[in-house]
Structure 1
Amino acid sequence: MNASPHADFRRLHHAERPLLLPNAWDHASAAALARRGFPAIGTTSLGVAVAAGLPDATGATREQTLALARGIVRLPVLVTVDIEGGFGERPEGVAALAAELDEAGVAGVNIEDGRPDGTLAPLAHQYAVIAAVKERVPRLFVNARTDTHWLAAIGGGMTPPLAAAAERAEAYVRAGADGVFVPALTDERDIAALVRDLGETPLNLLFAPGRHTYGRLAELGVRRISCGSLLFRAALHRAVELAWTIAHPGAHPGADPAGDPPGYAEAQSLSDPFTATA
């Protein structure tokens, strides 16, 4: 572990090129990414949850998330951990979890305001959560995620105005957040506007294949580009289709092995009670 992971991780958000953050779901994926030379990796809550047969974003994977974090901090790479909504309602409880991760050697955490019922946490409550974490562990990089656009995207609703995300982003920065994450924000004008509003606070976006490129997001001023669950879903897709082609030589595969991976909802459904067909 680097002697100063917090300072090094913070510097990566203010480097010449945006931080491309790949997300791991188990020790092997984290080790493989570290071996490839990525300076920092995150965890993906969907990947961790589905790999354990549990639902994502419900607070069900606290134990698995902590175990993974404690293992991968031994790798020669900076680590930030997706703790969903903090695995608890009380701000002091979330702060205690953050302190535990910090003590283990984690450089940052990602805290989201989306709730399992598809609503957003009250703004005042989320402000209190972020403030409590930063008061307890000032050096920990807190990436404050707002799900204003994500909930609309996965629920099929209308894209909200940028003001919805901007209001929460401004509040989270006042609470002490070191970065702001707005997954499913894809409109270039909105991205550029939010970058301007945030000033020196890094904007983190979720990479959307087919919508933007790394280079274009860099031009817009994005400072951190997360892969989210993309690598996990791509790995599932490739593994299943490779197995199919081995078992059915010459037959048309179930899907193109190089094609699009399953979406979030399809991957999430793998955690549903499984009923095999004979």
Structure 2
Amino acid sequence: MTTQAQRAQNLSELHAASEILRVVNVWDVVSAQAIIALPETKALATAGHSIAATFGYADGENIPLEVMLDMVGRIVTVAGDLPVSADLDAGYGDPGETTRRAIGVGVVGANVEDRLQPLAESVAAVEAVIAAGEAEGVPFALNARTDAFVRAGARPLDESIADAIERGRAYLDAGADIVFVPGPLDVDTTRRLVDGIGERKVSVIGLPGALTAAEYEGLGVARISYGPMTQRVALTALQDVAVGLYADGVIPAATRALN
């Protein structure tokens, strides 16, 4: 059994590898077990939006921290030697303490978003996360998120790219492992972000109609995750089969016993 520090180091090594790290987000124990069972799985990441939805909360730190961390801890328990990265939103008002508590349930990395707060405040949050990991003896693999695109409003694309690069470089200097830039990123935008932030230092989200993981890998991206999209796919399948059942259908014969 690997130690928590070893799992954190493993996650950092996966981020730095030439092959893009593909992380399929999970939101509860059974979804985690379904992904763990696949031989391609190298790490797990929780989706904060999906965990909140599971308990009936809207996204954005509306779910109580202790409820969210309890579910994350349950996921860590079934993950075994796989490193688990958690979505910690913006740190629930205290990124350092929230990270300490996440480490307490076995987490070895996290997304923490900047919500486009002033750069100095955002850098201080990154420093607090890294310091919490050091205090707990865990080389915490922070996937520092900038909302330079998702909260950009109507500003020009060039301004969002420049903002993401400035913030990304500052977060790396403050100890972040990689920089998460969610949003619909085409080839040119992705290339500019990688050129500005660093090869194998940019993390993206897979969205409908976005580039493939292989395409992002070819552009030098370190990691791709899918946020709430995986839960939406599962719920779409549930709703679609329910429509068939209401129409006197039957459970599809190809259904696998994954629970």
Q: TM-score range by the shorter chain?
A: 0.7 to 0.9
Report deviation, 1:228: 1.0
1:143 aligns with 2:143: yes
What's the CA shift string for 1:183-226, capped at 9, x where partnerless? 00412112112212223562100012322111111111111001
Checking the alignment, whether the CA contact within 8 Å between 1:149 and 1:159 is kept in structure 2 is no
CA distance in 2 between partners of 1:222 and 1:186 (Å): 11
* 1:134 maps to amino acid: I
Q: Which residue pairs with 1:112 in the alignment?
A: 113
Report deviation, 1:2: 2.6
CA distance in 2 between partners of 1:229 and 1:187 (Å): 20
Q: Which residue pairs with 1:7 in the alignment?
A: 9
Report deviation, 1:126: 1.1
CA distance in 1 between partners of 2:199 and 2:104 (Å): 27
From 84, 87, 94, the equivalent of 2:92 is: 87
* 2:87 maps to amino acid: D
* 2:142 maps to amino acid: V
Report deviation, 1:123: 1.4
Checking the alignment, whether the CA contact within 8 Å between 2:199 and 2:222 is kept in structure 1 is no
1:48 aligns with 2:60: no
TM-score by length of 2: 0.86
Q: Which residue pairs with 1:274 in the alignment?
A: none
Q: Which has the higher contact order (CA 8 A, sep 6+)?
A: 2
* 1:83 maps to amino acid: L
Checking the alignment, whether the CA contact within 8 Å between 1:46 and 1:57 is kept in structure 2 is yes
Checking the alignment, whether the CA contact within 8 Å between 1:186 and 1:211 is kept in structure 2 is yes
CA distance in 2 between partners of 1:134 and 1:98 (Å): 9
Q: Which residue pairs with 1:253 in the alignment?
A: none
CA distance in 2 between partners of 1:148 and 1:43 (Å): 22
**Structure 2 unaligned regions, length at least 5:** 250-259
CA distance in 2 between partners of 1:222 and 1:2 (Å): 27
Q: Which residue pairs with 1:23 in the alignment?
A: 25
TM-score by length of 1: 0.80
Checking the alignment, whether the CA contact within 8 Å between 1:111 and 1:143 is kept in structure 2 is yes
Q: Which residue pairs with 1:255 in the alignment?
A: none
- Structure 2 counterparts to residues 255-270 of structure 1, below 5 A: none
Q: Which residue pairs with 1:244 in the alignment?
A: 243
What's the CA shift string for 1:152-202, capped at 9, x where partnerless? 4xx7x4563211211211221122111100000412112112212223562
State the secondary structure of the residue aligned to 1:17.
coil
State the secondary structure of the residue aligned to 1:121.
coil
RMSD of Structure 2 on Structure 1 (CA): 1.8
From 65, 70, 78, the equivalent of 2:68 is: 65
1:176 aligns with 2:179: no
* 2:83 maps to amino acid: L
The alignment covers a number of residue pairs equal to 238
State the secondary structure of the residue aligned to 2:227.
coil
- CA separation of 1:122/1:136 partners in 2, compared to 1, >3 Å: closer, same or farther? same
Q: Which residue pairs with 2:220 in the alignment?
A: 221
CA distance in 2 between partners of 1:188 and 1:200 (Å): 14
CA distance in 1 between partners of 2:62 and 2:91 (Å): 8
Report deviation, 1:59: 4.5
Report deviation, 1:105: 1.9
What's the CA shift string for 1:111-145, capped at 9, x where partnerless? 0012xxxxx22211111111111122131111110
State the secondary structure of the residue aligned to 2:111.
strand
Report deviation, 1:45: 1.2
Report deviation, 1:104: 2.6
State the secondary structure of the residue aligned to 1:23.
coil
Report deviation, 1:96: 1.8
* 1:99 maps to amino acid: R
Checking the alignment, whether the CA contact within 8 Å between 1:6 and 1:140 is kept in structure 2 is yes
